Structure 1
C-alpha cells in the first residue's frame, strides 16, 4: 500500500518538553539516548500505512468528534519490558481522553488500517528498546497538559532522523 504512516496524537508545549528534558538530564540514568524531544507526544490512535482515500475518511471522522478541552496530569513513569519502553503516564485516564482515543482507534480498525492488540494506555514514550528499566534518582515534578486540540501526525524519516509532523489539527470545543 502506497501512503503515509499516520497516527492521531496530542502534542506537548515547548515548556513541557523542556521540563521533561531537564528531568531526564538530571534525574534519569539509561543505557541509551532518549527518543527525540521533537517527537514527544501522547498517541491516541495508530493508523499505520494509510492511502489518500483512507486519510480523507479519518480526517472527516476526526472533524466530527465533539469533545470539550480537558487536562492531563503527568506525575509517574512506567516501563514495558516486552519492548523496552520507558514512559511518562497521566495520573488517571479520564472520560474526555477516552472520548477521543476510542472512536479514533475504532475508525482506523473499521477502515482496515490497524487493529491495536493492546487496550488504550496513554503515555509519552521517552526511551525505546531498553533492556533494563532506567534508574530514576528523583521523580519528575508533576506537570499538567492542557488538551485543547489533537493532531493527525505523519511519521517519516528525513536526513536528521525520524519526524512526527502534524499534518492536520482538530480543535476541541466546549
Structure 2
C-alpha cells in the first residue's frame, strides 16, 4: 500500500509571496538560499506517512470542520538555532489556533504523528542556517486573508521538494 507524507496547512497568496521575496532580497543577509517560495505555508498539523484509506478519512474529517475565514497579520521574525530555522510569525490568532487544534488532535488520536511541541505557526524562510540571518530592515507588515486550508502531499521531484495540495477546505461559519 502506497504511503504519502502529508500535512494540513495554509498556503500563501501570490501577493504575500512577492512581498516576502522582495523583503528577503533587499533586507536580509544570509549564508544559504531561502526556502522555495512555492513551498511557503503555515503548517497546521503534520501527519507523517499516511495510507490511502486514512487519507480519505482525514479529508472527510477536515471537510466537516466549521470555522470562519480569518486574517493573519505578519510583522515579526524569529530564529530557532537548534535547527537553523528563520521564520515569519503571525500575531496570535484564536481562530488559527481553533483550526489547528482538531487537526493536531486527530493526528495524535489516529496515531499518525504526535507533535511534542506546542503549536507555533510560522512561515519557514531559511532552514539549516548557521547563525541568524542579519535583518537590515524589518518586514513591512502585511495581512494574509485565510479563506481555506489544504491537505498537502510533501514529495520530491527532479527540481526539489514540492508541497502539493491534494484536497482543499473552505472556511465558512
TM-score, normalized by length of structure 2? Answer: 0.98
Match of 1:17 in 2: 17
Q: Give deviations 1:60-106, integer Å, cap 9, x for gaps.
A: 110111100000000010000111100000122x2211111010001
Match of 1:169 in 2: 168
Shift of 1:161: 0.5
Are residue 144 (structure 1) and residue 139 (structure 2) matched?
A: no
Query: Aligned to 2:10, what secondary structure does the other structure show?
Result: strand
For 2:156, the equivalent position in structure 1 comes to 157
Q: Distance in 2 between matches of 1:158 and 1:45?
A: 23
Name the CA distance, whole Å, in 2 between partners of 1:11 and 1:121. 16
In 2, Cα distance between equivalents of 1:19 and 1:127 = 16
Q: CA deviation at 1:53?
A: 1.4
User: 1:57 Cα deviation (Å)?
Assistant: 1.3
* Equivalent residue, structure 1, for 2:35: 35
- 2-structure distance, mates of 1:22, 1:87: 15
Is there any run of 5+ residues in structure 1 with no aligned partner, and where?
none
- Separation in 1 of the partners of 2:5 and 2:84? 22
Structure 2: distance between partners of 1:95 and 1:32 = 34
2:133 alignment partner in structure 1: 134
Displacement, 1:46?
A: 0.3
**What does 1:56-67 align with in structure 2 at a 5 Å threshold?**
56-67=56-67
Which stretches in structure 2 are left out of the alignment for 5+ residues? none
- Normalising by structure 1, report the TM-score: 0.97
What value does the CA root-mean-square deviation take over the aligned residues?
0.9
Contact 1:150 1:170 in 2 (8 A): yes
Deviating above 2 A after TM superposition, structure 1's stretches of 4 or more consecutive aligned residues are none
Q: Count residues in correspondence.
A: 173
Q: Residue 109 in 1 paired to residue 111 in 2?
A: no
